[in-house]
Amino acid sequence: MKADTMATPPATDIAPTPRFALGQSIGLSAFVWGYPLIESMRTCRLQTMDSIDRPVAWRADIDRLQHVRRASTADDRDVVTPANDLLYSTGWFNLANGPRLLKMPSRRHHGGRYFVLALYDAWTNNFANPGSASSDADGETIMLVGPGTAREPAWPHDLRIVTAPTDLVWMIGRIVVGDSDGDAARALQDDIHLSCPEGTDRGALPYGVAHWIGAPEDTMAALAERPHEADAIAAAFFSNLCQCLASTTVPAADAGMAHWFTRGKLVPGKAFDWSWIDAPLRAGLVRGLQDGAALLESGSRSHLARPWAASYALGRYGSDYLTRALTAYKGLGGLASDEAVYAMGDFDSDKAKLDGHKRYLMRFEAGDLPPVDAFWSITLYAADRFLYPNDFQRFSIGDRTSGLRHDPDGGLTLQIGHAAPADRSNWLPAPNGNFYLILRMYRPRPKARSWRIPPLQNTPAPELMRNPT
């Protein structure tokens, strides 16, 4: 597609007509439905293309693993809302190139350290979670195969086969790491391997990734930063959606929806061109995309101003397209709820939006810490959905944070705000403005669904304070 064609502006001043309404309806639905696929493919392009001038901690060629040897910091901006208490081992696999062999570490050899090699399809579904809780204690090898691939007689009888719903698979390996056990966590990383069976190739990117149109930027961020360019942003989104649909499997349950989108000239594998579309339909598609983005932005916030909001429907979405899109927006690569529960904190106990100008206390009563079998942590994110850079270099607090001070009665009180307290032991630095928190509970116990998360209390700052920056 020619760049000038993609940038042809729709007529945004067109009065509402049936054609406009059709475009608006298709644009809204296609955005909500397709945004996770676009984010998946965009992230794949970002992390597998050498020419992208960004930090390379998460970068590797297709069908290869990249072991990130340090915990995430504010410098890591490939994926929104990274956790700070994990080492990541990541990779993008194109099973159209052939099956892939994934060697799992022995949890017995590594002292039972928590790890999970989460596997995601192109639609961001977390379809499998081999790891310390589900794999052989002495390690094993898993063969990943694409949709419709039958087991071959020559494959070993005891080989564990995992069939992916799409050819494109994203692995996000998570290995728990504390303040002082980085070497042990990295040793576990070293025992995770990917190989290609004899006779298979590596290196071919999915069509939608290899032929990505425009900059690999998040559509939500682009619309927020440049709302006056909504027509060009919409053209890029719909163009890439058509390209990406040509290189992935559309779930059978979504076939009718995908067919309906063709009424808006959104045809898998067929170049999208504004010049083929009448002005009312073009204007409607752009408006629909804007409506979809507004829906996601609004849906990412609690309208009841609840201090914490937890979801137990993450990772395996079925036809819950809105939850899938919201997760791709605020937490791409979220684990299914049997592996981890995520709770979002946007408001304090007074239902006011969290603001670093204030000083917050969060107290866990004695014996009432997050109910988990693995570990828990609270991570702070700035309004841009990335870790907040601070001189203290603390981005999260959890059960493995060294130096935490417990209250005399055994409880635990955390301090959160921009200004540093005299005693920083339990302090989580915040920006001088809005922020939000994510409480992660790994291997949650059944009690986690009913457990009450303590709200943040806005308290007057003591006299002895100083600015951390």
Angle between helices 279-299 and 230-245 (to 10 degrees): 90
Contact 127, 316 (CB under 8 A): yes
The Cα-based distances of 450 to 153, 154, 370, 371, 446 in angstroms read 48, 49, 11, 10, 8
Domain limit, last residue, from 243, 271, 299: 299
Contact 263, 30 (CB under 8 A): no
pLDDT for res 13: 57
Range of lowest pLDDT (127-136, 178-187, 415-424, 453-462) = 453-462
pLDDT for res 150: 83
Q: Given pLDDT bands bounded at 50, 70 and 90, which one contains residue 57?
A: low
Please report the sign of the dihedral spanned by the C-alpha atoms of residue 350, residue 354, residue 359, residue 365: positive
Burial class (CB in 10 A: 0-12, 13-18, 19+), 149: middle
pLDDT for res 95: 95
SS3 content of the chain, % helix, strand, coil (to 5): 25, 25, 50
pLDDT for res 461: 60
Q: Which residue has the higher pLDDT, 428 or 309?
A: 428
Q: Residue 455 has which token pair?
A: 């709200």
My answer on whether 149 and 199 are in the same domain is: yes
Residue 402 covered by a domain: yes
Contact 89, 65 (CB under 8 A): yes
My answer on whether 233 and 271 are in the same domain is: yes
- State pLDDT tens for residues 15-48: 679 999 999 999 999 999 999 999 999 999 999 8
- Domain with residue 104: its CATH number is 2.60.40.1610
Residue 59 covered by a domain: no
My answer on whether 13 and 77 are in the same domain is: no
Q: Which residue is associated with the tokens 């998360």?
A: 453
**CA–CA gap between residue 372 and residue 448 (Å, rounded):** 8
Range of lowest pLDDT (96-100, 202-206, 441-445) = 202-206
My answer on whether 394 and 440 are in the same domain is: yes
Residue 180 covered by a domain: yes
Q: What is the mean pLDDT of residues 365-391?
A: 95
My answer on whether 188 and 108 are in the same domain is: yes
* Cβ neighbours, 10 Å, residue 67: 18
My answer on whether 319 and 276 are in the same domain is: no
Number of domains in the chain: 3
Q: Where are the beta strands (DSSP E) in 35-159?
A: 65-67, 86-94, 100-104, 115-120, 126-128, 140-145
User: Of 80, 125, 79, whose CA–CA distance to 315 is shortest?
Assistant: 125
Cβ neighbours of residue 239 closer than 8 Å, sequence gap 6 or more: 1, 6, 213, 214, 271, 272
Q: Given pLDDT bands bounded at 50, 70 and 90, which one contains residue 431?
A: very high
Residue 58 covered by a domain: no
Q: What is the mean pLDDT of residues 338-345?
A: 94
Domain limit, last residue, from 204, 223, 249: 204
| Residue 15 three-state SS | coil
Burial class (CB in 10 A: 0-12, 13-18, 19+), 378: buried
Supply the range of the domain harboring residue 335.
309-466
Q: Given pLDDT bands bounded at 50, 70 and 90, which one contains residue 462?
A: low
My answer on whether 121 and 108 are in the same domain is: yes
My answer on whether 295 and 317 are in the same domain is: no
Q: Residue 305 has which token pair?
A: 């101003």
Q: What is the mean pLDDT of residues 347-362?
A: 96
pLDDT for res 50: 61
Q: Residue 236 has which token pair?
A: 């890029």
My answer on whether 76 and 157 are in the same domain is: yes
**CA–CA gap between residue 459 and residue 196 (Å, rounded):** 57
- State pLDDT tens for residues 165-201: 999 999 999 999 988 899 999 999 999 999 998 888 8
- pLDDT value at 463 more than 60: no
Percent of the chain surpassing pLDDT 70: 93
Q: What is the mean pLDDT of residues 416-445?
A: 96
Q: Given pLDDT bands bounded at 50, 70 and 90, which one contains residue 369?
A: very high
Residue 304 covered by a domain: no
Residue 53 covered by a domain: no
Letter for the amino acid at 242? C
- State pLDDT tens for residues 287-315: 999 999 999 999 877 667 899 998 888 89
My answer on whether 317 and 437 are in the same domain is: yes
My answer on whether 421 and 290 are in the same domain is: no
The Cα-based distances of 325 to 123, 148, 319, 333, 363 in angstroms read 10, 26, 11, 11, 33
Average pLDDT, the chain: 90
Domain limit, last residue, from 171, 204, 237: 204
Residue 70 covered by a domain: yes
My answer on whether 460 and 398 are in the same domain is: yes
pLDDT for res 417: 97
- pLDDT value at 155 more than 50: yes
Residue 52 covered by a domain: no
pLDDT for res 15: 65
111: left (phi over 0), alpha (psi -120 to 50) or beta: left
Contact 362, 459 (CB under 8 A): no
- pLDDT value at 447 more than 90: yes
